[in-house]
Chains A and B, each alone.
Chain A
Amino acid sequence: DIQMTQSPSSLSASVGDRVTITCRASQSVMNYLNWYQQRPGKAPNVLIYAASRLHNGVPSRFSGSGSGTDFTLTISNLQPEDFATYYCQQSYDTPRVTFGQGTRLEIK
């Protein structure tokens, strides 16, 4: 299976900050990379698909980039509702999709 490794595992930031989360795949996944946000007690919600495309209704302060094995999720102008856990997920090897271990974004 393709391994997805996120860094950092946790991150502290303040409202208004800009943060970046990285995701590395154990082999190329081209641009078949999605990002999700998960709030406590809820299912994940898709933010970004195909590495850089914003899903319907997702605020423009979220952006994604990368291809091959290295990807980033950037959140600009952090809002209180953005403090959550973020996951990357590859769909290159469907049906054997795999997720990163998550990055917990906390309020400083």
Chain B
Amino acid sequence: QVQLQQSGPGLVKPSQTLSLTCALSGDSVASNSAAWYWIRQSPSRGLEWLARTYYKSRWYNDYAESVRSRISINGDTSKNQFSLQLNSVIPEDTAMYYCARIETLARGISTFDIWGQGTMVTVSS
């Protein structure tokens, strides 16, 4: 059974760094058919992708324009996990954060089939 387990603090002060980790069991982060996302959800912005990483001999990363200047995603094959860092957080970064697997089922056809349990992150002093 494939599972994603999230960890990280639920409260971050403004201007500080939000750090979350997603540990994978039952699969490998180096899977040829999968990529790994961080997605957040808030009443004002809905479901919003933030970052993607995947492994093909090395790690490749992509970032949403809205957070590109202050975000990083890192995959770790030795620990079978991936992580998110969002710098200089503001109150508008308050949201439920999810990690998720996107599985490619056929050419161009992919779906988020495994999700972490979610971490509610509040940005407040």
Interface residues of A (CB under 8 A from B): 30-32, 34, 36, 42-46, 49-50, 55, 87, 89, 91-92, 94-102
Q: Are A102 and B46 in contact (CB under 8 A)?
A: yes
Q: Which residues of B contact A (CB under 8 A)?
A: 35, 37, 46-49, 52, 62, 64, 98, 100, 102, 105-106, 108-113, 115-118
Q: Are B47 and A34 in contact (CB under 8 A)?
A: no
State the majority secondary structure of interface residues on B.
strand
On whether the beta carbons of B109 and A49 are closer than 8 Å, the reply is yes
Per DSSP, are chain A's interface residues mostly helix, strand or loop, or mixed?
loop
Inter-subunit contact A43/B108 (CB<8 Å): no
Known: A30-B108, A91-B108. A96 touches B49 (CB 8 A): yes
Residue in A closest to B60 when the chains form the complex, CB atoms = A95
Pair A44/B109 contact, Cβ less than 8 Å: no
Q: How far is the CA of A99 from the CA of B108 in the complex (A)?
A: 17
Contact (Cβ within 8 A) B117 A91: no
Q: Decide: A43 and B115 in contact? CB cutoff 8 A.
A: yes
